[in-house]
A and B are shown apart, each in its own frame.
Chain A
Amino acid sequence: MLGLNKKDTRFLLIVVALTMATPILLQPFPEGSGLAQFNAGYPDLMQRFAIFGIFAIGFNILFGLTGYLSFGHAAFLGIGSYSVVWMYKLLDYNVIYGLPLAIVMSGIFALLIGYISLRRSGIYFSILTLAFAQMSFNLAYSVLTPITNGETGLQVYTNDPQVLLGATEPRSPHFFGIVMNNSSKVNVGDWVFTFNNGYYFCAVIAILAFYLSLRIFRSPFGLMLRAIKSNQQRLNYTGLNARPYTLAAFVISGMYAGLAGGLMASMDPLAGAERMQWTASGEVVLMTILGGVGTMMGPVLGAGVIKYMENIFSKINDQVLHGWFGWMPDGLEDFVIGISHFFVGKSWHLTSGLLFMIVVIFLPGGLVEGGQRIRAMFAKKRGDDDDDPKHQPKQAPHVAE
């Protein structure tokens, strides 16, 4: 179906089903119960899952397939956001004008930056992309204030032209009248499920993005990118010029980032320069590595885990901790809470940093590899281990896992 083989079709259908059912799946605990704070089924967070999923999928096309580690992808995120907000300001709140522009603009920038950066590889490539991203960030913050509104961030004001704005049109981002912020709540017993328009809009785009990247992974082009990762020199010796391929991958992943940035502005009509800072680039690297580089599902998983932790861990405060550890003797309770302070609330970055280090050290293939190892462990217990792991090349993880 859709040019995919049977296994991939099944995989895609599972992803579609999971994405569509996310508002239900992420709400496993009834409202008002002690565990309700672990629910992730509220619109803002789900939108983030989808948006950063797109960002990470795009980044994975570059890093996962070609092995070029870019530390400047946040620049495209910012460019996408600015494009969309400018379309709000000039035309109207319909996102249909902004999103294509976001993709095109970030594609143009990616072409320029990629053309220069890809002359070098390895750490030099990382530094060059980092330099470009920091340049964009610094410029957006200072000189380009007429375009980016500097520190305040770009937003829509009432005296903006908005030439297409009709009298009855919604005054917030919408897609032909479907307002992003609107959502319908469904009560099932104690559970409350929120079905948000914005989330479903992002989710549909994310599925399209995912499908596209699946096709790229399976295409001869994707195979070529993998060849670049495994041995670029040999590829050159066979008479192939690798640069057009890497440049294409860079531009594609830049466009994904631009799309993600545009969607961020579609959910919340704001664009700030801090979106372009290099910490934001680091975040997408983190997501991709955490989930599993070069796998289809890994980056999405990583994006989900990071964003979930960011939202949930940072919400845990003293009161919640006392609720959890109240049964302990007083001294012990204070001690445990003191220790927990390192990891929750404002310090959740420490948790993510540690998790990230652990993954890089012990699980270079990310969570996906972890899952495969666990499965392999169980498979072995069933007794079908006639393979000789030491004398066989390690099988590359199947990208559909």
Chain B
Amino acid sequence: MDAILLQILNGLDKGSAYAMIALGLTLIFGTLGVVNFAHGALFMIGAFCAVTMQRIFGMSFETVDPNQKDFLGNPLKVKTPYLESWFGPETGAAIIDWSVPLAILFSIPIMLIVGYVMERGLIKHFYKRPHADQILVTFGLAIVLQELVKHFFGANPIPTGAPEVFKGSFDFGVLMGFDPNVIIYPYWRMVYFFFAAIVIGAVFAFLQFTTFGMVVRAGMQDRETVGLLGINIDRRFTIMFGIAAAVAGLAGVMYAPINSPNYHMGMDFLVLSFVVVVVGGMGSLPGAVLAGFMLGILESFASMNWIKSMVPGIDQIIIYLVAIIILLTRPRGLMGRKGVMEE
């Protein structure tokens, strides 16, 4: 029982990331009908927004401190971050410590702009081309973005810490009457899960309760009619692309402390997110979220020791296996709408 609970919890954070990326992918597919292979790259750019923020906040100048000596007896050079000298040591250190959450604010406009530029500059010209062309051109774009990031940040993963408050783990087991230290869960992963829940909830609320969202939903149903009503649906779809990019970016920003960002993390997640989208059903937003969490949890279940000893290697292939079974038995995916990309 405790082991099962622990695995559910472990699956949640990866599941949240899958769900957010898959949600964006589905939004783009549902609105523009474009299969975006560069979505993983957007996730990665988000993670590197966090890295950049940390670097910007960490920028410092050197002063010679005559009171301290290094081991050779020379006066010690001390690095002081600008923030600490501007806001005082305590406030400055706190801001630096909180750079990852603060990067959220910084990443939203960046991701919106990246998404907007990408849609207007490239994707726009591919509405009418076959899906294979869309896959190929966004695949090329993903390579380009990945290489650019590699050029600027290097090939090694860059550790990006969460704020000090969230280091350490929360003892879930005690709450539920288990022994202490049986079910422990890092705080940051909890934060990530709640953050994902908020972001996903916000996207759904935006689509459900605003006029803008209503128009977008109508456009997903029947683009032509909405256009005939005198609404500039292309423009709204472009904005939705920006929002989808921002969701992927936010998923990336908050994921940075869980897994140190490296340039190929986008590709790693992309493949799995596509599987998630297909399992959830092309064009179904709730399906994408459900499948994201489901596959995340399944993956962590499969890595339990007694399951691994029963079926060796199952943890490596479970997601793909599930995808294959679902695609063959339920061609529309779990919650796919009728008529959306059935062939």
Contacts and interface: CB of A to CB of B under 8 A. Distances in A.
Interface in A299-356: 341-342, 346-347, 349-350, 352-354, 356
B135 A130 contact: no
B135 A126 contact: yes
Given A143-B312, A285-B136, A347 B147 contact: yes
Given A128-B323, A282-B139, A342-B148, 12 more contacts: A120-B327, A124-B278, A124-B327, A124-B341, A130-B271, A134-B271, A139-B317, A354-B140, A356-B139, A357-B141, A360-B137, A361-B137
B151 interface: yes
25 contacts: A120-B327, A120-B328, A120-B343, A121-B343, A124-B331, A127-B323, A128-B327, A130-B271, A131-B275, A132-B324, A134-B317, A135-B317, A138-B313, A139-B313, A142-B316, A143-B313, A144-B313, A285-B136, A285-B139, A346-B150, A350-B143, A350-B144, A353-B147, A354-B140, A360-B133
B338 interface: no
Interface string A356-378: 11001100100000000000000
Contacts of A241: none
A25 interface: no
A150 to B, nearest CB: 12
A19 B78 CA distance: 64
Nearest to A122: B343
A142 B314 CA distance: 10
B98 interface: no
Range, interface on chain A: 35 or more
Contacts of A342: 148, 151
Contact of A116 (B35, B139, B146, B324): B324
Contacts of B228: none
A294 B313 CA distance: 38
A135 B319 CA distance: 9
Contacts of A346: 150, 155
Interface in B329-343: 331, 341, 343
Given A342-B151, A347-B151, A131 B323 contact: yes
Contact of A132 (B151, B320, B331, B343): B320
A123 interface: yes
B132 interface: yes
A116 B313 CA distance: 21
A361 B323 CA distance: 31
Nearest to B312: A143
A138 B315 CA distance: 9
B147 to A, nearest CB: 4
A360 B140 contact: yes
Cβ-closest 3 pairs across A and B? A143-B313, A353-B143, A138-B316
Interface string B201-223: 00000000000000000000000
B321 interface: yes
Nearest to A345: B151
Given A121-B343, A342-B151, A350-B148, A128 B143 contact: no
Interface of A: 67, 69, 116, 119-124, 126-128, 130-132, 134-135, 138-139, 141-144, 278-279, 282, 285, 289, 341-342, 346-347, 349-350, 352-354, 356-357, 360-361, 364
A123 B283 CA distance: 13
A285 B146 CA distance: 18
Contacts of A361: 122, 125, 137
A285 B320 CA distance: 21
A338 to B, nearest CB: 11
Contacts of B135: 69, 123, 126
B323 to A, nearest CB: 5
A313 to B, nearest CB: 12
B144 A354 contact: yes
Contacts of B324: 116, 128, 131-132
Contacts of A352: 143
A357 B132 contact: no
A36 B140 CA distance: 30
B320 A69 contact: no
A374 B323 CA distance: 45
Contacts of B35: 123
A360 B136 CA distance: 7
B143 A122 contact: no
A127 to B, nearest CB: 5
A354 B144 CA distance: 6
B53 interface: no
Given A120-B331, A127-B327, A349-B143, A135 B137 contact: no
B274 interface: yes
A356 B143 contact: yes
A131 B148 CA distance: 27
Contacts of B120: none
B256 interface: no
B341 A119 contact: no
Interface string B265-309: 001000100110010001000000000000000000000000000
Contacts of A357: 137, 140-141, 144
A221 to B, nearest CB: 22
A116 B249 CA distance: 35
A142 B143 CA distance: 27
Contacts of A353: 140-141, 143-144, 147
- Give the most central of B132, B316, B343: most A CB within 10 Å: B132
A356 B140 contact: yes
B77 interface: no
A116 B321 CA distance: 12
- Give the most central of A131, A341, A364: most B CB within 10 Å: A131
- Give the most central of B122, B136, B148, B155: most A CB within 10 Å: B136
Contacts of A347: 147, 150-151
A141 B131 contact: no
Contacts of A364: 129, 133
B267 A279 contact: yes
B132 A69 contact: yes
Contacts of B136: 285, 289, 356, 360
B147 A349 contact: yes
Contact of B274 (A130, A139, A350, A354): A130
Nearest to B145: A353
Nearest to B311: A143
A127 B343 contact: no
